[in-house]
Amino acid sequence: MNIKSFEEYREIYKQSEQDRLKFWEHEAGTFYWRKSWEKVHSGGFEKGDIKWFEGGKLNITENALDRHLNTIGNKTAFIFEPNHPDSFRRTITYRQLHEDVCRFANVLQEKGIEKGDRVCIYMAMTPELIISALACARIGAVHSIVFAGFSAQSLAERIQDCDAKMLITNDGLRRGDKHVPLKDISDEALESCPTVKNVIVCQRTNRDIDWKEGRDEWWHNLIRNASRNHKAVEMDAEDPLFILYTSGSTGKPKGVLHTCGGYMVYTSYTFRNVFQVQEEDVYWCTADAGWITGHSYIIYGPLFNGATGIIFEGTPTYPDPGRLWEVVEKYKVTHFYTAPTAIRALMSYDLKYVQKYDLSSLKVLGSVGEPINEEAWHWYDDHVGGGTCPIVDTWWQTETGGIMISPLAGVTPTKPGFATLPLPGIFPTLMDENGKEIEGNGVSGNLCIKHPWPGIARTVWGDHERYLKTYMSAYKGYYFTGDGCRRDPDGYYRITGRVDDVLNVSGHRLGTAEIENALDEHPNVVETAIVGYPHDIKGQGIYAFMICEKTPEDPKAFKKELHDLVTKIIGPIAKPDKIQITPGLPKTRSGKIMRRILRKVAADDLENVGDTSTLLDPSVVDDILKGEAY
Ligand code: PRX
């Protein structure tokens, strides 16, 4: 399916409504299956036993790589743009990528990795990260990519949770002018991960590292003599493909599990229709492969469609804030997909950084990860797109596998700040406080999805109950997204942000409980409550209210200690922006913190703190109002 006009979109949406299964079966039919499925779909939200294309046999990498060899084998699959613009850059064709994946698949099998085993990948944004993930998929191992900004402790927790057998990492990486010692961090993490028997280290920084004989091996040594022929392992459509950890409103991050068949069909279909990438186009998604955006729209979706993509190791402001535009000019990028936080950050610099470069190659702009404010939308439209590029504001989640609500580029009329309309096959609905669907337009409510789609996560690794509780229990028979949403008089959807205790900081998802638990580890901290507040660049900033044993003598030094602690336990992305020490927290009689009040204070909306009469001790609010953050 490749939708080309708005009329066609309307028509196909209607068809998908009339016969969902026929719609998805048609999409699945565009792939190479070793054996066709026995049943298109079974199960539902009630039991969380969702299955798609069951009995179908495939290997996802045959669809990403092998089937392109005879047609576009010599086409560039990836252009690698390193952290520093003067470092070594390279292009990789589909044929070379296939060869590299086959070689590394052989290496993994020689190391004893088998179908179903979990392999953790903690790497720089380089081609080897992608080769690692695809090699896992080729042998049926379940990859768990951990963003290389997470701490040793976070890495260890993720390895332990899925009992990974192997870790693939780099000696280190450079991000902007910072150096991150990935191997040292890995060594520290592995002290508490007895299941990991082998570590493969890919050289990137050439710095000295510790070496554990018998466990650690260099990528380049292993790959050298590996055969480039590899027969992909046959998988069932419902066999696991990968685990990706993401934050929830409570407890530790959960391992969201995606399976082979449905994820393949869904990411391919959404990539094709949302971005409308043509044969000669150059597509660039600036995300890191450690997040779902990288999984679905750097690795899998583009490869299924034979696109040319960019792997970018750097950051938007290094060596200067013109970097992204320099890359667009250099490779004549046609499709550019980034997060609003990057746009807001770049907006704060002189326009000369954008104007210096020729951006006339651009055809489509994308946005993902958080609501895009109108100011950023217009800046993106005017200064990057020159007023001629449709902006696809794509709403989706780690759990949805792929884009759910979004304009289709050049097809759907856009509106600033709106993710616009659902893709055919996706049926969103807004719910009121009584759990009833809200009919009509010009309404707001909690966003739910009505019927399972192929890309939906199948479970939380090792904790199916948590999966049911988080997504399927708030509204029986629906998938609950955790987002608030408005449907305007035209039926367009605008995502207003999370309605649960999940924060979205610079497009990164963080649970308040995770950050609170980290801060509570400080000997002087008795209790913490974290809320988000509007932040000009990050979208949401992290505001910590905390009760301390004694008032810190040097608040600056105290804040630094807290930052170091959070960096050690979670990673630098979770550092609180503001800290307010308070004698008490606003709690209900049942002991629940009333975050509504704290959110108002954090947003400096002091007039509207609302009803405090149900608090155990309403006088706490006066203390908080009088207090100050630093
Ligand atoms: O709140 C929504 C926000 O990001 C959340 C999902 O985060 P994550 O699983 O990390 O995936 C991010 C990349 C897909 C959602 O619940 N979000 C994502 N895209 C948008 C968005 N909010 C508004 N507009 C978007 N386009």
Topology of domain 506-626, CATH: GMP Synthetase; Chain A, domain 3 (3.30.300)
Distance 403 CA to ligand 1 centre (A): 10
- Closest residue by CA, ligand 1 atom 26: 395
Alpha-carbon distance values, 291 to 122, 255, 285, 305, 563 (Å): 12, 12, 12, 20, 23
Interstrand relation of 282-285 and 308-312 (parallel, antiparallel or unpaired): parallel
Report helix, strand or coil for 20: helix
Question: pLDDT, tens digit, for every residue of 164-191?
Answer: 999 999 999 999 999 999 999 999 999 9
Strand-pair category, 178-180 with 240-246: unpaired
- Atom of ligand 1 at shortest distance to CA of 394? 26
Mutate which of 247, 396, 502 to test ligand 1's pocket (most atoms within 8 Å of Cβ)?
A: 396
CATH architecture of the domain with range 6-485: 3-Layer(aba) Sandwich (3.40)
Atom of ligand 1 nearest to the CA of 509: 10
- Tens digit of each residue's pLDDT (9 = 90 or more) over 235-246: 999 999 999 999
Atom of ligand 1 nearest to the CA of 497: 1
pLDDT at 287: 97
Would you say 118 and 243 are in contact if contact means Cβ atoms under 8 Å apart?
Answer: yes
Which residues have CB under 6 Å of ligand 1? 246, 292-293, 367-371, 393-398, 419, 481-483, 495, 497-498, 504, 509
Q: Express each pLDDT in 83-134 by its tens digit.
A: 999 999 999 999 999 999 999 999 999 999 999 999 999 999 999 999 999 9
pLDDT at residue number 189:
98
Provide the residue ranges of all domains of the chain, joining segments of one domain with +.
Answer: 6-485, 506-626
The per-residue pLDDT for range 503-543, each reduced to its tens digit, is 999 999 999 999 999 999 999 999 999 999 999 999 999 99
User: Per-residue confidence at 617, pLDDT binned at 50, 70, 90?
Assistant: confident
Q: Of 243, 254, 509, which is best to mutate to test ligand 1, by the most ligand atoms within 8 angstroms of its C-beta?
A: 509
* Neighbour count for residue 523 (Cβ, 10 Å): 6
Ligand 1 atom with the smallest distance to the CA of 481 is 16
Distance 577 CA to ligand 1 centre (A): 21
Asked if domains 6-485 and 506-626 share a fold, the reply is: no
* Cα(268)–Cα(27) distance, integer angstroms: 9
* Rounded Cα gap, residues 88 and 86, in angstroms: 7
Please state, in angstroms and rounded to a whole number, the distance separating the CA atoms of residues 287 and 339.
8
